Amino acid sequence: MKPAPFEYYAPKTTEEALQNLTDLGYSGKVLAGGQSLIPAMNFRMARPSALVDLNNVAELAYIKPTADGGIAIGTMTRDSVVEQDPFVKQRMSIVAETIGYIAHPQIRARGTFGGAIAHADPAAQLPALSLALNARLLVKRKGAERWVTAEEFIVGPFMTVLEPEDMLAEVVLPPLAPRTAGSYKQVSRQRGGYAQAATISIVGLDDRNRVKNVRCVIFSVGETPILSKYAAKVLIGNEPTEAAIADVAAYVAKNECDPGSDLHGTTEYRRQLVEVLVRRALTEAVLRAKK
């Protein structure tokens, strides 16, 4: 199928793009990598009246360190660029590890870091990663800007706090404290496919190998990525024993997610996946943090 008719705008600067969005209002839709939007348009599941294509806005594609040791990533930076960046691998290897599970190399070469987060697919890796890393998101509109946390940004499946005239401009990943590491785990029907269940766990240890901080996120098992409150309650301040991790994994699977059933798996099956994956990810994150 072909998309419904639409107007096309190809700004070359951020200001021009923001002006386009202001002029178009609810008629406009941002086009970033297009790996999700274009297929939806071709199937006429999405029918925007106008597209504002950001692919010519070079100033939105960058990776740079922040003053506090974090990483700032422009919204139009390609996933493959982030995945292969030596600075990212050195500072935050969990980012490259997670991106490696996104579809296939051809998709990662076109998909954009900010575009995936703004799309807010509940089964996508980057919205979950931004939540796990407690990212800060810079939202711009003509004449104004504001910072939003990853926890505030996504409000439902494919729904964010972005208004029609808004654009996600930058994603800032705060620095990881010493002795902090992450792990990504998922199960999918084939390599590159959507996960039936997945988790990203970030664990920080003190000098006595007790948990100083933990952020365990599960996704593809609910309407949005889910940050486990129970993991922090049980683990912070305590030694991450095998029993404690197993307790967290079992609780998360039973009480903190609501996976549906389809022809590929029942609710009970997906809960079992969550329990196994959370246990493995937390265990691996702890082992990595100790090194």
Both tokens assigned to 277: 């994956």
Residues 215 and 133 in one domain: no
User: What does the pLDDT read at residue 95?
Assistant: 98
For residues 84 and 109, state if they share a domain: yes
How many domains are there within the chain?
Answer: 3
CATH number at residue 188: 3.30.390.50
Bridge pairing between strands 211-219 and 195-205: antiparallel
In a domain, 1, yes or no: no
**Quick one: pLDDT band at residue 272, thresholds 50, 70, 90?**
very high
Distance CA 153, CA 161 (A): 5
Of 173, 198, 232, the one marking the end of a domain is 173
Q: Which two tokens stand for residue 161?
A: 């706090």
Same domain, 216 and 278: yes
Domain edge (last residue) among 142, 173, 204: 173
Last residue of a domain, one of 15, 31, 53: 53
pLDDT-derived band at 253, boundaries 50, 70, 90: very high
Give the helix ranges, DSSP H, for the chain. Answer: 14-24, 37-42, 79-84, 86-91, 93-99, 105-110, 113-119, 125-132, 150-153, 229-235, 242-255, 267-290
**Contacts by 263-268 with C-beta closer than 8 Å and gap 24+?**
264/189, 264/196, 265/196
User: What percentage of the chain has pLDDT greater than the value 90?
Assistant: 93
Boundaries of domain holding 73: 58-173
For residues 249 and 201, give the distance between their C-alpha atoms in angstroms, rounded to a whole number. 11
More confident residue, 3 or 13: 13
Is there a single domain that holds both residue 131 and residue 228?
no
Same domain, 154 and 225: no
- CATH code of 81's domain: 3.30.465.10
pLDDT digit string, tens, across residues 14-55 = 999 999 999 999 999 999 999 899 999 999 989 999 999 999
Residue 2 domain flag? no
CATH number of domain containing 32: 3.30.43.10
Reading the block at residue 188, the tokens are 């999918």
**C-beta separation of 187 from 198 below 8 A:** yes
- pTM exceeding the 0.75 threshold for the entire prediction: yes
Question: Do residue 36 and residue 66 come from a single domain?
Answer: no
Task: Let me know if residue 275 belongs to a domain.
Answer: yes
